[in-house]
Amino acid sequence: MPIVKDFFIALSNSQFLNATAKKLGPMFGAKKVVAGNTIPMLLETIQRLNDKGIVVTVDNLGEYVANEGEAIQAKDRILEVMYAIYDNNLDAHMSIKISQLGAEFDLDLAYKNLREILLKANEFNNMHINIDTEKYESLFGVIQTVDRLKGEFKNLGTVIQAYLFKAEALIDKYPELRLRLVKGAYKENEFIAYQTKEEIDKNYIDIIEKRLLNCNHVTSIATHDDAIINHVKQFVKDNHIDKEQYEFQMLYGFRTELAEEIAREGYNFCIYVPFGDDWFSYFMRRLAERPQNLVLAYKEFTSPQMLKKLGIILGGTLAVAGSIVSLFKFSKK
């Protein structure tokens, strides 16, 4: 339902709602998909997943930084997480959005912050640092930053979004980098991105196959889609592709049993684990991708403990819920 997806994307972009949610702490089901908001909680989650043979990539949540001070604070927080991972000998690395490092108002500042992170990562057993992609309008900044750093650092990677028309060209551009291939989580217009699931799925499979056949570097196949996972399993078998060349990847809190099953089968597996106070935007995008996830919000919202905690906010939240119901009804007309 496109109108419902658009609604949640709009919520995710609201700086007011993100600021309010940050004060409240994770709720509305977000605790199911965000590993808390403290480093000890994060470390506990990583250890639990490592014990099951699953690697972790950590996202220190937060995209909205308004000035240099906030960007530096975000960089310092990422470094703090890296120290904790290294000191506790955990199998984990970082996924970073350069908007969090100041890219939206000073791309050079973001570059300097990211370079400092990469230099420290080299000291921590060459820890992998993945540069996440965001909205299309930020893609040029991501590419420019990656291009400035890729010659100096070998532990750098980025993400290719299959719904973009230029996804195949980007695959060709970065054969020497570790890449995560995703379908894409943002709302983009028809001039730059495929719009239907069928088109996106086809392009996703096409770039996965091309990458696996033509590149020896690690490819992360990030999807919860059974059909694509099964297709990839058969494809790598038919083409004798070594398991060290790829991994499957999923989001924390989604399809946990399937993730553990794939890991038990002997495939390399990684879980994308977000944590921190800036949970709202992330959670709204997950609802936009799959509105069925509303059940997570509903179950927690209707618990007596949560109703008590919300207090006077309840009225406003019910109004939002009413809007969601109306949108569902409207989309069916």
- The set of catalytic residues is 132, 180
Q: How is residue 98 written in tokens?
A: 């350069």
Q: How many CA atoms lie within 13 A of 268 on its CB side?
A: 15
Q: Torsions phi, psi of 157, nearest 5?
A: -145, 175
- Are the C-beta atoms of 43 and 90 separated by less than 8 Å? yes
Q: How many CA atoms lie within 13 A of 148 on its CB side?
A: 17
Give the separation between CA 311 and CA 109, rounded to whole angstroms: 41
- Are the C-beta atoms of 42 and 275 separated by less than 8 Å? yes
* 223 carries a ligand binding annotation: yes
CA-wise closest residue to 18 among 60, 70, 63: 63
Q: How is residue 156 written in tokens?
A: 């750098």
What number of residues does the chain have? 333
Give the separation between CA 58 and CA 35, rounded to whole angstroms: 10
* 121 carries a ligand binding annotation: no
Residue that has been written with the tokens 């970073």 in this structure: 96
* 286 carries a ligand binding annotation: yes
Residues 6 or more apart whose Cβ sits within 8 Å of residue 302: none
* 285 carries a ligand binding annotation: yes
* 184 carries a ligand binding annotation: yes
How do strand 129-131 and strand 92-96 relate by DSSP bridges?
parallel
* 53 carries a ligand binding annotation: no
Give the separation between CA 296 and CA 298, rounded to whole angstroms: 6
Count of C-beta atoms within a 10 Å radius of residue 214: 10
Looking at residue 130, its amino acid is: N
* 197 carries a ligand binding annotation: yes
3-class SS of residue 13: coil
Which residue numbers belong to the known binding site for FAD? 161, 183-185, 197, 223-224
Residues in the annotated binding site: 97, 161, 183-185, 197, 223-224, 285-286
Going by the annotation, the residues of the binding site for substrate are 97, 285-286
